């Protein structure tokens, strides 16, 4: 068996589209940020900043677990697994009401809210773009 027959050579121009990589990166960033907030909540509870230790520990753990799903979805998208798109779009969609309430809070939260909103919109657009859809739903060559 020669090297030419052992591994198929991909056609020129194929590969992961930039829009899919961008959507995956934004989703991973959002998931990591969510996990950091969960860890922060648990550490704050342990350091005595909270009166309800058990509630904050459990809530922090739930937030960490909720942050893991977008990271796993982003990893799946980078491997062009179509199951990753639904949780990634959901994560980016949830950013929009979060951004709204951050902006409504005023002060320094306005800038953070605008950033969260822009990331959510760009993530949704990147994940639902025709190139991303074509990469995820292309017939496989088994």
Residues 6 or more apart whose Cβ sits within 8 Å of residue 18: 131
50 alpha-carbon distance from chain centroid? 29
Q: According to the per-residue pLDDT averaged within each range, which of 2-11, 60-69, 131-140 is highest? A: 60-69
Summarize pLDDT for 4-22 with one digit per residue, the tens. 444 443 444 458 899 999 9
Q: Are 120 and 101 in contact (CB under 8 A)?
A: no
- Give the pLDDT band (50/70/90) at residue 119: very high
What share of the chain has pLDDT > 70, as a percent? 86
Question: pTM here?
Answer: 0.82
Structure tokens given for 37: 């907030």
Instruction: Give residue 138's pLDDT.
Output: 84
- Write 52-57 long-range contacts (CB < 8 A, 24+): none
Give the C-alpha distances (Å, rounded to integers) separating 125 from 83, 93, 129.
17, 11, 6
């Amino acid at each position: 068996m020669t090297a030419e027959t052992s591994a198929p050579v991909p056609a020129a121009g194929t590969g992961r589209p930039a829009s899919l990589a961008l959507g995956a990166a934004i989703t991973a960033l959002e998931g990591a940020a969510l996990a950091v907030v969960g860890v922060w909540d648990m550490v704050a509870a342990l350091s005595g900043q909270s009166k309800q230790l058990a509630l904050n520990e459990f809530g922090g753990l739930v937030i960490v677990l909720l942050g893991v799903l977008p990271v796993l979805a982003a990893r799946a998208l980078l491997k062009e697994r179509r199951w990753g798109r639904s949780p990634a779009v959901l994560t980016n969609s949830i950013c929009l009401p979060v951004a709204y309430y951050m902006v409504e809070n005023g002060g320094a939260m306005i800038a953070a809210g605008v950033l969260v909103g822009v990331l959510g919109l760009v993530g949704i657009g990147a994940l639902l773009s025709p190139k991303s859809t074509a990469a995820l739903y292309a017939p496989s060559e088994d």
